[in-house]
Amino acid sequence: MTSVSEIVARFEQFAPQSWAEEGDPVGLQIGSMQQSVHKLMVTLDVRPEVVTEAVKNNVDFIFAHHPALFRPIKKFDLTNPQNKMYAELIKHNITVYAAHTNLDNANGGMNDWLASLLDLQDTEILLSQHEDSLFKLAVFVPKKSAETVRNALTDAGAGTIGEYQDCSYTISGTGRFTPQAASNPTIGNLLEPTEVAEDKIEVVFPKRICSKILKVMRVVHPYEEPVFDLFAVQGNGTKYGMGRIGDLKSSMTISAFAEYCKTKFDVLHLRVVTADTTQKVKRVAILGGSGGQFYTDALRKKADVYITGDISYHTGHDIIVSGLTAIDPGHHIEQICKPHLQNLFAQWNNEYGWQIKVVQSAINTDPFMFI
């Protein structure tokens, strides 16, 4: 059977936990990483009604965008509805995992999904851009074992450069050593100088998986003492960041664009912050969730309009004074993650032969209604 840890390991190649913003409680929320998974349910929020839905549908793994546990539990009092929800999850052996700002930051993740929904062109990262730190491993291996070691390293996550996988480089040469009396050599005899035809295999990998790569290397390498070099690599890491900015295919008035957003986000109402609804807009910045405080980044990138949720009263005033227009369609537009996550897990399910059923929650968790 497929375990939670196998599914999470594949997801974190797409959106590593290290890409989450500082203090964001992403990752395992409740349950066990070793639990077997038969049915996985994706959801925006983990609410009591979502848990009831999961229990009814025999779900054993909930994958959520918003963490179920934002703050520590001080008293596990079951008269508290939130605590009762946690108890139900534990009672029914449902593991919960959350991918929040790491999914927001990921290339091809939340903010790309939102930008694509609006059909924005030539998009780029809105906020400050980050770069994954890379290491390069150069390991010396006897030729007969080179393929085994190289394949093990790439299977462990090494050798990805941009959109290319299984990247490595090999140089052939001669290794020399003299096994000492206390050694246990794979090749050669004690106290006799030895020469071996070797390959030097070079692969790059993200710093965050360094310990994993070195462990795999030591396990599969035939030598008692593998010889290797490890380097920090500058400038070639994956770039990631929060929010997106791009251009509409053609400009439109703010009023027309607001209607366009209502249709695309499938909302009946939204809030518009502007000094002039007849003003034309073309360059659009978007940031899913609560991003009011980042409107200055939209200004810096010369956006005509900034779309985000939960804009506060005073921030709204500041936006108007700045000359920027903002549209607040609500936090709940991030529900777009459900079909996209379902598609990702279904794709990996087929690719890796997991044989799990992947469903999305049918519950609308938007706490607001307009009357």
Q: Is the pLDDT of residue 159 over 90?
A: yes
Residues 93 and 7 in one domain: yes
Return the half-sphere exposure (C-beta side, CA atoms, 13 A cut-off) of residue 69: 19
- For the chain, the domain total comes to 3
Please indicate, yes or no, if residue 301 is contained in any of the structural domains: yes
C-alpha to C-alpha distances, 140 to 134, 199, 205, 210, nearest whole angstrom: 20, 6, 17, 17
At 248, is the pLDDT very low, low, confident or very high (cuts 50, 70, 90)? very high
On the CB side of 265, CA atoms within 13 Å amount to: 26
Question: Do 254 and 316 fall within a single domain?
Answer: yes
Indicate whether 92 belongs to any domain: yes
Asked if 6 and 100 sit in the same domain, the reply is yes
Residues 175 and 312 in one domain: no
Identify the pLDDT of residue 174.
97
Residue at 369 is within a domain: no
CATH number at residue 92: 3.40.1390.30
Same domain, 170 and 260: no
The pLDDT, as a whole number, for residue 124 is: 97
Claim to verify: residue 123 and residue 249 sit in the same structural domain:
yes
pLDDT of residue 139 exceeding 90, the answer is yes
In a domain, 114, yes or no: yes
Q: Which is more confidently placed, 161 or 153?
A: 153
Shared domain for 254 and 295, answered yes or no, is yes
Say if 271 falls within a structural domain: yes
Residue 211 lies in a domain: yes
pLDDT tens-place string over residues 162-213: 778 899 999 999 999 999 999 999 999 999 999 999 999 999 999 989 999 9
CA 338, 341, 347: angle at the middle one, nearest 5?
140
Q: Does residue 367 form part of some domain?
A: no
Whether residues 347 and 274 fall in one domain = no
Is 366 inside a domain boundary?
no
| Domain that residue 123 falls in | 110-128+242-329
Q: What percentage of the chain exceeds 90 in pLDDT?
A: 92
